[in-house]
Amino acid sequence: MTIGVLDLQGDAQHHATLLESLGEVVRPVRGPRDLEGLAGVVLPGGESTTLSLLLESAGLFAPLAEALAGGLPVLGTCAGMILLARDVLDGRSDQRTFGAIDLTVRRNGHGRQIASFECDLDLPIAGAGPIHAVFIRAPVVERVGPDVEVLAVLPGGTGPLRPEPVACRQGRVLVTSFHPELTEDRRLHEVFASMVRGDLATTATP
Amino acid sequence: MVDPAGEHTRNGTERPTGTFTVKRGLAEMLRGGVIMDVVDAEQAKVAEDAGAVAVMALERVPADIRRDGGVARMSDPSLIEGIKDAVTVPVMAKARIGHFAEAQVLASLGVDYIDESEVLTPADEAHHIDKWVFGVPFVCGATTLGEALRRVSEGAAMIRSKGEAGTGNIVEAVRHLRAILGDIRAVTQADPAERYRWAKDLAAPIGLVQEIADSGRLPVPLFCAGGIATPADASLVMQLGAEAVFVGSGIFKSDDPTRRARAIVEATAHFEDAALVAKVSTGLGGAMAGQEIDALGVRLAERGW
């Protein structure tokens, strides 16, 4: 079972290291052929404008969209969440997304780097005990579709939804607005690995 | 790396900002990308359209600083504001070495990263900025491992090899990258007693030397700057071990900045794919006119210590 990590730009290395430490086989994804035979894929943090451009030029956008529509399990963190969302606010007009999860997200909704922060969050699906979450120029979830399950919230919050959803799942799509890969805590990646193996009951399919 | 300000208690809140983790975190997100020097909003848009992961605001690109001479300073705040309004990617800006008041101004403008840069005229010949007291992250240049670790000890959350800015000549960037990465490889081979000698020779804190000996890498991302003018230059430094590239004069001093910027973005993302680098290098028009290092009047990389 091989999990791909999109490796065009951004924080692919930390995702790969965490997944490998869980015993998963990881393959960097830089072109369409790298998608063959994948059991799951990770869209890491990075700059979503750059990533969407590079996905297009690498010829990856269409085959990845098709794979996601076909039910390929995916984890998207920060920019990865933006790429997977149905609607993006404050993005570039030419920015394309996969629309794999029924969310509306606002790019850089938490503000500029000076507002980036870290905190502990409850993430019941990953087990007891808080998970440490690092938010870097993070997007804000402003609308959650009826088939989307909210897995973690930020007390208070920034956008119109209070508390603010920061981890969500719909079918085989798992997204976070924070960066689980920047900590040593592997539990969110364990949840994703379970989704890939099909051990974890999924909610409504996308 | 331990933040002396206290990683989880900064601001005394449960949701601390400005910690070393969030400072380094933004650098991690820029990996594999191209950070482009821009002097105004129009250039910033060209950079973002081409796929830049961030833009660097400065008064003049290094090639012009070199040509015109005089004192090079922080940009006019109105230009930085204009650039911030024009793009959605992170905006960095340069402050002079040791000029903490310029850094305070840039922080108050809300820039995402401050480059304490040798490209500008140094304000202090003995002291770099104490970067720990700032909530905004800093990147600093380095020519050697010792210099890189001194900057990290002062709070830099990203290091870029200096190269020789404004020359379009990659030779110094290669020299500095090889010096830093070669010494990292050597430190990992040192026995515990030899680590102390390394710390003395590098004039760097022993704690950071021990961290490198164990991890085999800098405690912060290592990017490359100074002299990158072509897609193949970007591929070269990425293959040598840089984690992202800064391009200054190389783009806006070339014949076709839009195409060249895009080509360098592609070559940085696919740096191991020679066929792709060949394809994006084709028909780009003239690169910036380069300069021999021996012919330079001023060596920017010698600024700072």
Query: Could you give the number of structural domains in chain A?
Result: 1
Contacts of A78 in chain B (CB under 8 A): 29
Pairing of strands B138-142, B34-38: unpaired
Q: Does residue B1 carry a pLDDT above 60?
A: no
pLDDT computed for residue A203 by the predictor: 53
Report chain B residues touching chain A, CB-CB < 8 A.
Answer: 8, 14-19, 21-22, 25-26, 28-33, 48, 51-54, 88-90, 107, 110-113, 135-137, 265-266, 269-270, 273
Mutate to test the interface with A, among B24, B29, B108 (most CBs of A within 10 A): B29
Q: Do A182 and B28 touch (CB under 8 A)?
A: yes
Indicate which CATH number applies to the domain containing A154: 3.40.50.880
Please tell me which residue of chain B has the smallest CA distance to A182.
B25
Q: Is the pLDDT at B5 greater than 70, yes or no?
A: no
**Which residues in A lie closer than 8 A to residue B54 (C-beta atoms)?**
47
Query: Does A173 contact B at CB distance below 8 Å?
Result: no
**Residue at A204 is within a domain:** no
* Backbone dihedral angles phi then psi of residue A144, each to the nearest 5 degrees: -120, 125
Residue of A nearest to B135 (CA): A114
Task: Compute the radius of gyration of chain A from its Cα atoms.
Answer: 15
Give percent above pLDDT 70 in chain A: 97
What confidence tens digit (pLDDT) does each residue in A101-145 have? 999 999 999 999 999 999 999 999 999 999 999 999 999 999 999
Whether A205 maps to a domain, the answer reads no
Q: Give the catalytic positions of B in this structure.
A: 94
In a domain, residue A206? The reply is no
Of B14, B22, B273, the CB nearest to A134: B22
Residue A108 forms part of a structural domain: yes
Edge-to-edge order in the sheet of strand A173-176: A25-29, A2-6, A40-43, A74-77, A173-176, A164-170, A149-154
Whole-structure pTM value: 0.95
In this prediction, residue B13 has a pLDDT band, given cuts at 50, 70 and 90, of low
Cα(B249)–Cα(A38) distance, integer angstroms: 41
Residue B58 tokens, joined: 């400065």
Tell me the C-alpha distance between B122 and B124, whole Å.
Answer: 6
Residue pair A139/A177 in contact by the 8 Å Cβ criterion: yes
Q: Is A134 helix (H, G, I), strand (E, B) or coil?
A: strand
DSSP B17: B
The whole domain housing A26 covers 2-197
pLDDT band at B2 (very low <50, low <70, confident <90, very high): very low
Q: Phi and psi (nearest 5°) for A138?
A: -80, 150
Residue at A95 is within a domain? yes
Beta strands in A54-189 (DSSP E): 74-77, 85-89, 101-106, 117-121, 131-135, 140-144, 149-154, 164-170, 173-176
Tokens standing for B279?
Answer: 């394809």
Does A90 touch chain B if contact means CB atoms closer than 8 Å? yes
Question: Helix B77-86 and helix B41-50: axis angle, to 10°?
Answer: 30
A63 located within any domain: yes
Kindly state whether residue A107 falls inside one of the protein's structural domains.
yes
CA distance A138 to A182: 14
Mutate to test the interface with B, among A29, A78, A136 (most CBs of B within 10 A): A136
Q: Let me know if residue A146 belongs to a domain.
A: yes
